[in-house]
Every structure is written in C-alpha cells, then in structure tokens.
Amino acid sequence: MPDVDRTAASRAAVAARRARAEVKRRLRSGEASPLRVLEQARVPETPAASLRVTDFLLSFPAIGQVKLSRILEELSISERKRLGGLGRQQRERLEGFVRERVGAEAAGTRPPLTVLAGPTAVGKGTVATYIREHYPEVSLSVSATTRAPRPGEVDGTHYFFTSDEQFDRMLAAGELLEWATVHNKYRYGTPRGPVQEASERGELVLLEIDLQGARQVRASMPDARLVFLAPPSWDELVNRLVGRGTEDSEERARRLETAKVELAAADEFDEIIINDEVPRAAARLIDIMRGTPRSANG
Ligand SMILES: Nc1nc2c(ncn2[C@@H]2O[C@H](COP(=O)(O)OP(=O)(O)O)[C@@H](O)[C@H]2O)c(=O)[nH]1
Ligand SMILES: Nc1ncnc2c1ncn2[C@@H]1O[C@H](COP(=O)(O)OP(=O)(O)O)[C@@H](O)[C@H]1O
C-alpha cells in the first residue's frame, strides 16, 4: 500500500474509533437510547454497527464484567461480536434483553429487594435454584447458617457455613440484615453487605428466607417486596414433604404444624405465587422483581 493510502486508512480508523467512543459516551450518559443504537447498528458501516457487544452491554449501569459474561452466555453471543455482525436471532435476543431492562427502569416500580418465603417443602429452594440457573441477572443472597453442609453444597454458593461462634460475632457486629432460628434447630441469617451493594448497583436482589426473616425485612425495609410461595393444595404440600424424603415422620409432623401457621400468614405478603409448575412460578417471580405489572403476563 502506498504511504498516502496508509495514512488515509489510519486516519479513517482513528475517526471510526472516535465515533465509537462517542456512541459509548452517549449510551453511558443516557443521551442515546440503547434500543435506538441497536436500530442504527442495522445500517452497515455506522459507528453503532462497529460497536462491540461487550461495550454496548457495559454501558448499562448495573452490568459489570461478571454479569456481562453470564448475559452473553445466556444470549449465546460471543464476546468478540460487534453489533453490526450479529445474526438475526442473536439480534432479536439482545433486543428482547434490552427491552426488558429499559422497561423495568422506565417503570421505576422495581423494589430494592424481593423476599421469597413460604411453608416448608413448598419448593422455595427449587424455585430459587431454577432462578439461579435461568436468570443470571438476579443476585441471589447467600445466607450464613450454623447447619452443616449437605453433600454437594458449596460454601459461599449455597450458604456460608459458619460455627455458632462466628454467627454470634456476625450478629454482634450488626452484619446481618435479618436472622432466625429455623425449625427450632439452626440459625440462618442474611449478610447485609452483599445485599446492600447489589441493590445499590441496581441489580435484582432475591432473598429466600423463612417467615420470621421476611417479617424482619418488612420492618427494616418497608420498600422490600414480600412474595409468598404457596402450594396448589394442602395434600400436595404433604406429598412434596414426604417425596423429598429428607425428614423422618416425627420431624415431618412438626414441620406440617409450623406450615399451618405459615400458610395463615400468606395475607401479610404483597404477592402470592402458587407453585404449581417451577418455570411458571419462577417467571412470575421475575416479573414481580422487574416491576412488570400483572396484566402484562396474566
Ligand atoms: N430467616 C432466614 N431464613 C433462612 C435463611 N436462609 C435460609 N432460610 C430458611 O431456612 C430454611 C431451611 O433451609 P435449608 O437448610 O436449606 O433446609 P430445607 O428447607 O430443609 O431444605 C428454609 O425455610 C429457608 O427459607 C436466612 O438467611 N434467613
Ligand atoms: N412445582 C413443583 N411441582 C412438583 N414438585 C415440586 C415443585 N416444586 C418443588 N417440588 C419438589 O418438592 C420438594 C420440596 O421442595 P424444596 O425446594 O426442597 O422446598 P423448600 O425449599 O420450600 O423447603 C422437592 O422434592 C422438590 O423437588
């Protein structure tokens, strides 16, 4: 390539880089709508088309590197892609993601955090696990507990497994947002720091805790959304408890007594979700967390 051409090419490259930086700046400052940028990116050779998907997503206030990888994986988009180089389905998935995000932000009805509670064996853990696996944008609070890990449970992922002394120390230091002795046995509590930080970053925060804990959250954070997970029927609740097979008959009887009291507390909650099918219950919970009105999803 002659020198003149090379200079012209590098000038063009510099100009393109500047134009991309300007799109990023406008996205970050809120001057440019992300949906509009996606629209522009459909036109080849525009600065929007040459913007990397990673830069586009990082311009959202609540998306950092960790979230970014999970979102890209969920959308099946490689981190090397540019907006203009997306396939049709990739573009549609990204657009759907952005629409949901922008919708929730615009609605402004998003609770700072959501509590999921309900009687024993209704499926709280199952729904929470489903959400962890299918909705990477949700920050699931990891509780501290004095009970021992079960096989397969990972410290720091399922729970922070602590000794009685460590739990006492956390309590004394005011590090727990709420705590309770559950099923008359072990203590469980929500570490305050991670919840506060995630909430301040604008993330969707979910606490899967017991009824006593839910009441404490209500008292200390009136804006929190309390969701009660209910069984389709009493018999189904008994079936699930028996089917899980993790308690002996004496413990089951005790838990069912508690469950009666807990079911009676359902009307203290903002929302009730019947856990008939896990994906449906999870989707409804996500709608509530995003602040989507009920009429939008039935
Ligand atoms: N208050 C409160 N309850 C919690 C917390 N973490 C878990 N729990 C509740 O503790 C109970 C026992 O949970 P787990 O040990 O996983 O046992 P499982 O319910 O028998 O599977 C469940 O009802 C949870 O909702 C927490 O941080 N605070
Ligand atoms: N929607 C559902 N339909 C059928 N079985 C379910 C459903 N949700 C959960 N289960 C089953 O019920 C049992 C109790 O669920 P689990 O998540 O352990 O309850 P919890 O955490 O509320 O005590 C488990 O065996 C689980 O597989």
Which tokens belong to 183?
């099923």
Q: Say how far apart CA 72 and CA 219 lie, in whole Å.
A: 38
Domain boundary among 57, 87, 107: 107
**Residue 294 reports pLDDT greater than 60:** no
Q: Which of 8-17, 56-65, 108-117, 186-195 has the lowest mean pLDDT?
A: 108-117
Within 10 Å of residue 152's Cβ, how many Cβ atoms? 6
Minimal CA–CA distance to 125: which of 227, 208, 239?
Answer: 208
What mean pLDDT do residues 222-238 have? 93
Verify that 100 and 119 share a domain, yes or no. Answer: no
Q: Say how far apart CA 286 and CA 145 lie, in whole Å.
A: 26
Question: What spatial distance separates the first Cα and last Cα of the chain, rounded to whole Å?
Answer: 63
Q: Residue 118, annotated ligand binder?
A: yes
Verify that 139 and 163 share a domain, yes or no. Answer: yes
What is the number of the ligand 2 atom nearest to the C-alpha of 275?
A: 1
Domain boundary among 60, 86, 107: 107
Q: What is the pLDDT of residue 148?
A: 94
Which tokens belong to 99?
């629409």
For residue 176, what are the β-bridge partners?
A: 191
Regarding an ipTM greater than 0.85, the answer is: yes
Q: Ligand 1 within 6 A of 287 CB?
A: no
**Residue 28 reports pLDDT greater than 50:** yes
Q: How far is the CA of 65 from the centre of ligand 1 (A)?
A: 30
* Mean pLDDT taken over the chain: 89
Domain span at 76: 3-107
Q: What is the pLDDT of residue 141?
A: 97
Q: Which residue lies with its CA nearest to atom 27 of ligand 1? A: 189
**Residue 212 reports pLDDT greater than 60:** yes
Q: Say how far apart CA 147 and CA 186 lie, in whole Å.
A: 6
Q: Ligand 1 within 6 A of 67 CB?
A: no
What is the number of the ligand 1 atom nearest to the C-alpha of 190?
A: 27
Q: What is the pLDDT of residue 103?
A: 67
For the residues of the chain, what is the DSSP string, one character each?
--HHHHHHHHHHHHHHHHHHHHHHHHHHHTSS-HHHHHHHTTSTTSTTTTSBHHHHHHTSTT--HHHHHHHHHHHT--TT-BGGG--HHHHHHHHHHHHHHHHHHHH----S-EEEE-STTSSHHHHHHHHHHH-TTEEEPPEEESSPPPTT--BTTTEEE--HHHHHHHHHTT-EEEEEEETTTEEEEEEHHHHHHHHHTT-EEEEE--HHHHHHHHHH-TTSEEEEEE-S-HHHHHHHHHHH--S-HHHHHHHHHHHHHHHTTGGGSSEEEE-SSHHHHHHHHHHHHHT--GGGT-
Highest mean pLDDT among 3-12, 37-46, 255-264: 255-264
User: How many domains does the chain fold into?
Assistant: 2
**Residue 179 reports pLDDT greater than 50:** yes
**Residue 181 reports pLDDT greater than 80:** yes
Q: How far is the CA of 20 from the centre of ligand 1 (A)?
A: 48
Verify that 187 and 280 share a domain, yes or no. Answer: yes
Q: What is the pLDDT of residue 229?
A: 96
243-261 tens-digit pLDDT: 998 889 999 999 999 999 9
Verify that 280 and 181 share a domain, yes or no. Answer: yes
Q: For residue 50, give the CATH number of its domain.
A: 1.10.8.50
**Residue 291 reports pLDDT greater than 80:** no
What mean pLDDT do residues 13-33 have? 86
136-146 tens-digit pLDDT: 889 999 999 99
For 154, residues 6+ apart whose C-beta sits below 8 A from its C-beta are none
Structure confidence at residue 188 as a pLDDT band (50, 70, 90): very high
Verify that 92 and 133 share a domain, yes or no. Answer: no
Verify that 286 and 176 share a domain, yes or no. Answer: yes
Verify that 102 and 120 share a domain, yes or no. Answer: no
Q: For residue 194, give the CATH number of its domain.
A: 3.40.50.300
Q: Which residue lies with its CA nearest to atom 13 of ligand 2? A: 240
What is the number of the ligand 2 atom nearest to the C-alpha of 119?
A: 22
Domain boundary among 57, 79, 107: 107
What mean pLDDT do residues 88-114 have? 79
Q: Which residue lies with its CA nearest to atom 15 of ligand 1? A: 147
Verify that 93 and 122 share a domain, yes or no. Answer: no
Verify that 46 and 153 share a domain, yes or no. Answer: no
Verify that 102 and 139 share a domain, yes or no. Answer: no
Verify that 58 and 142 share a domain, yes or no. Answer: no
Verify that 263 and 180 share a domain, yes or no. Answer: yes
HSE-CB at 28 with a 13 A cutoff on CA atoms is 10
Q: Which of 1-15, 80-94, 218-232 has the lowest mean pLDDT?
A: 1-15
